[in-house]
């Protein structure tokens, strides 16, 4: 019986030991599953101390669990703080920008008010340029030579409007210069002929007779009149041929007549009778200061002046033979004899219906035509017949005097450089 009891005790002890071992294994597994406090080296050391045999599969699982149990890296707190601060700074900058824009708006409003006050002051200053008392005094001025008292009154009334005398640079022209009706800044001449009196001159004529103090004249030729010229309103009839081939003579003779009637300050704008005028652009050009001597829209540029054959004028009379029989045209050549006028100089010139010529250029043209006795059929031994085509003739004369064209688009900027005429 004692043996049996002993065996039972021993078995009980072994059972308890095995239970304890099982409990320890369970505890170890729980510790491994906790993933926070166990590390690889500690586990292995414990296993070896207690001589617990762990199969390889469990070791692999333990390693995986340890890796999973590693604490995840915490986010960068400083970066998150900076990211939080950035929008705050942006909000502050936006608020400051709003304040600046408000202050700029206030400044702009104050500047606008100042500008309005300056404009009002300028208007009052302009109105004070000719006080009312001076206007009354001007009306009492004794008449000058060659004009009457009513003309003086008209010119006074015309010059009271100082706003019209402001040029592109902002300077105010002294209106007293043009109190004398014999003094003008320039003239706009529209050359035409008798056959276009009832057509072009009625269709394309300028409405006003003055633009920025520039007088408008219509030029017609008639060799049968007794005086050198006749003036009817603003139409000047010259004692000269009215044909197309005499246009050089008619245009330059008009310069001479206008200079004898008026003291011209700037020059003459030569226009054809077949164009529409843009009033705004015309007035802008007229008030431009310091214009060049020779300005046009369409141009012909040649490096060297030379003689060429050109049948332009011959073809014109071949298609208009009736003009040879018209007494007003004054052509003493037959159609066969006209065939010889086919040699002209090729020069630097501007052509078309609008050309500006300064007073200096006009004086040169008048002197040259007087030297050849106003004969457009004068032959030059080197260049043929330069005067039978008007724009070529004007370019030829000015080129001989080292005056070359400027484009109307560039007005005051660059003058092309050309070689001297030999």
Contacts from 127-134 at CB under 8 Å and sequence distance 24+? 127/162, 129/162, 129/172, 129/175, 130/159, 130/160, 130/162, 130/175
Dihedral sign (CA 241, 242, 243, 248): positive
d(CA 167, CA 278) in angstroms, rounded, equals: 18
pLDDT level of residue 267 (50, 70, 90 thresholds)? very high
- Indicate whether 355 pLDDT > 70: yes
Report the pLDDT value the prediction gives residue 171, as an integer from 0 to 100: 40
Q: What is the pLDDT of residue 44?
A: 54
| Rounded Cα–Cα distance for residues 169 and 287 (Å) | 9
Q: What is the pLDDT of residues 114-149, one digit of tens each?
A: 878 777 776 665 555 444 444 444 444 444 344 343
Residue 164 pLDDT > 80: no
* Span of 70-79, 188-197, 340-349 with lowest mean pLDDT: 70-79
pLDDT band at 417 (very low <50, low <70, confident <90, very high): very low
Pairwise pLDDT comparison (182 vs 302), residue with the higher score: 182
CB 224 within 8 A of CB 324: no
Supply the pLDDT for residue 120.
75
Answer whether residue 32 shows pLDDT above 60.
yes
d(CA 35, CA 51): 23
Instruction: Return the bridge partners of 406, or none.
Output: 295
The residue among 112 and 60 whose pLDDT is bigger is: 112
Q: What is the mean pLDDT of residues 164-169?
A: 39
pLDDT at 127: 52
Residue percentage of the chain with pLDDT more than 90: 29
Q: Please tell me which of 30-39, 61-70, 299-308, 340-349 the model is most confident about, judged by mean pLDDT.
A: 340-349
182-407 has CATH 3.90.550 classification: yes
Structure tokens belonging to residue 249: 């003579």
Q: Could you give the CA distance from residue 314 to residue 335 in angstroms, rounded to a whole number?
A: 8
The model's pTM is 0.57
pLDDT of residue 113: 82
CA dihedral of 207, 209, 211, 213, whole degrees rounded to 10: -170
Q: Cα–Cα distance between 191 and 353 in angstroms, integer? A: 10
Q: What is the DSSP string of 20-40?
A: HHHHHHHHHHHHHHH-SS--H
* pLDDT exceeds 90 at position 405: no
Q: Which of 42-56, 78-92, 204-218 has the lowest mean pLDDT?
A: 42-56
Pairing state between β 235-238 and 343-346: unpaired
Mean pLDDT of the chain: 76
Q: How far apart are CA 365 and CA 396, in angstroms?
A: 10
Q: In 347-397, which ranges are E strands? A: 349-358
Q: Could you tell me which residues are beta bridge partners of residue 219? A: 191, 236
CA distance 357 to 401: 14
8 A C-beta contact, residue 222 and residue 300: no
**The two three-digit tokens of residue 13, written as one number:** 């002890």
Q: Record the tokens describing residue 189, joined without a space.
A: 């001449």
Q: 384-395, pLDDT tens digit by residue?
A: 999 999 999 999
Residue 172 has pLDDT above 50, yes or no: no
pLDDT at site 161: 36
Q: Which residues contact 151 (CB under 8 A, 6 or more apart)?
A: 181
| Residue of 234, 201, 202, 194 lying closest to 217 (CA atoms) | 234
Instruction: Count the Cβ atoms, other than its own, within 10 Å of residue 307.
Output: 16
Rounded to whole angstroms, the Cα distance separating 371 from 359 reads 18
Comparing 88 with 111, the larger pLDDT belongs to 111
Around Cβ 291, how many Cβ atoms within 10 Å?
19
Most confident of 79-83, 275-279, 370-374: 370-374
pLDDT digits (tens, 9 = 90+) for 52-73: 455 555 666 666 766 666 555 5
How is the chain split into domains, by residue range?
16-69, 105-163, 182-407
**What's the residue count for the chain?**
422
pLDDT score recorded for residue 139: 45
């Amino acid at each position: 019986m004692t043996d049996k009891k002993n065996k039972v005790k021993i078995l009980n002890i072994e059972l308890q030991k095995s239970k304890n071992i099982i409990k320890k294994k369970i505890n170890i597994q729980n510790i491994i599953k906790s993933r926070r406090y166990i590390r690889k080296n500690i586990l292995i050391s414990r296993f070896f101390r207690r001589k617990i045999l762990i199969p390889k599969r469990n070791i692999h699982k333990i390693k995986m669990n340890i890796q999973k149990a590693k604490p995840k890296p915490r986010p960068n707190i400083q970066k998150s703080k900076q990211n939080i601060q950035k929008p705050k700074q942006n909000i502050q900058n936006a608020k400051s920008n709003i304040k600046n824009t408000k202050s700029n708006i206030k400044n702009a409003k104050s500047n606008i008010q100042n500008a309005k006050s300056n404009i009002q002051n300028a208007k009052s200053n302009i109105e004070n340029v000719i006080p009312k008392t001076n206007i009354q005094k001007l009306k009492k001025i004794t008449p000058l030579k060659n004009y009457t008292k009513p003309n003086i009154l008209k010119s006074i009334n015309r010059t009271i409007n100082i706003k019209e005398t402001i040029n592109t640079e902002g300077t105010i022209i002294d209106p007293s210069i043009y109190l004398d009706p014999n003094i003008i800044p320039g003239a706009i001449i529209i050359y035409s002929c008798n056959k276009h009196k009832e057509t072009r001159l009625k269709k394309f004529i300028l409405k006003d007779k003055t633009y920025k103090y520039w007088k408008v004249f219509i030029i017609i030729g008639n060799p049968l009149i007794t005086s050198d010229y006749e003036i009817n309103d603003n139409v000047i009839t010259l004692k000269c041929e009215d044909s197309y081939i005499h246009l050089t003579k008619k245009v330059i003779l008009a310069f001479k007549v206008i200079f004898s009637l008026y003291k011209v300050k700037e020059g003459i704008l030569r226009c054809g009778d077949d164009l529409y005028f843009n009033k705004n652009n015309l007035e802008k050009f007229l008030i431009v200061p310091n214009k060049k001597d020779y300005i046009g829209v369409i141009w012909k540029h040649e490096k060297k002046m030379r003689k060429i054959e050109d049948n332009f004028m011959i073809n014109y009379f071949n298609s208009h033979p009736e003009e040879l029989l018209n007494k007003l045209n004054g052509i003493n050549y037959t159609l066969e004899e006209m065939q010889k006028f086919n040699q002209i100089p090729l020069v630097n010139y501007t052509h078309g219906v609008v050309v500006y010529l300064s007073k200096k250029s006009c004086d040169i043209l008048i002197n040259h035509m007087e030297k050849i006795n106003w004969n457009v059929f004068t032959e030059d031994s080197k260049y043929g017949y330069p005067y039978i085509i008007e724009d070529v003739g004007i370019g030829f004369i000015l080129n001989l005097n080292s005056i070359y064209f400027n484009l109307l688009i560039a007005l005051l900027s660059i003058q092309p450089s050309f070689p001297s005429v030999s």
